[in-house]
Amino acid sequence: MRRRDLILKSGLLLAALSITPPRANALGGVVLDNGIDVPNFELEGSSQRDPDKQRWALNDFRGQWLVLYFYPRDFTGGCTIEARGFAKFLDRYQDLNASVVGISADSVDDHASFCSSEGLDFPLLSDPDGRVSKSYGSWMAPYSLRHTFLIDPDGKLRKRWTAVRPSGHAQEVLDELINQRDNTAV
């Protein structure tokens, strides 16, 4: 192949790779775009902080930041590490007018037991059929995938993480929350 043809093909390949489709597919479904209104949800769940509350909806968090994280299963190694991370920084999140909410396919009773055993003071919501997880591109039956979404007080997606590594993730999200708040306060 002549050098000129090789350079031309290389340039076309780079141009093709730089084109971003309007909606990207990922393991678990269509990935949400930053800046869009996130899908609404209403699910049953469990919370040590508010034991009498049985259902949570996106509208419950209007006017504040929301860290919405999806995870596969209660009581597993990675999920426990991730939950403990968010619990460790929960006061910092709350100081920044942010709530943390976890979603998985586990039952409300399993969530209650997990919250109790790990001392989790944020709600864990039950999505057994994956309806909400699917709407966020975070479902591979029969589990939610490990994805996190940072949602602003108006319900718009500001940052997403897919294929999350549990260790250190809560700090990473907290740092991004601080960055986002600083950028919107200007």
| Contact in structure between 34 and 131 (CB atoms under 8 Å) | no
Residue for token digits 């999200």? 173
In the 3-class helix/strand/coil scheme, how is the chain assigned residue by residue? CCHHHHHHHHHHHHHHHHCCCCCCEECCEECCCCCCECCCCEEEEECCCCCCCCEEEHHHHCCCEEEEEECCCCCCHHHHHHHHHHHHCHHHHHHCCEEEEEEECCCHHHHHHHHHHHCCCCCEEECCCCHHHHHCCCEECCEECCEEEEECCCCEEEEEECCCCCCCHHHHHHHHHHHHHHHHHC
Q: Annotated catalytic residue: which of 79, 98, 105, 124?
A: 79
Please tell me the distance from the alpha carbon of residue 107 to that of residue 47, in angstroms, as a whole number.
Answer: 13
Active site residue 79: yes
Give the residue numbers annotated as catalytic, written as ranges: 79
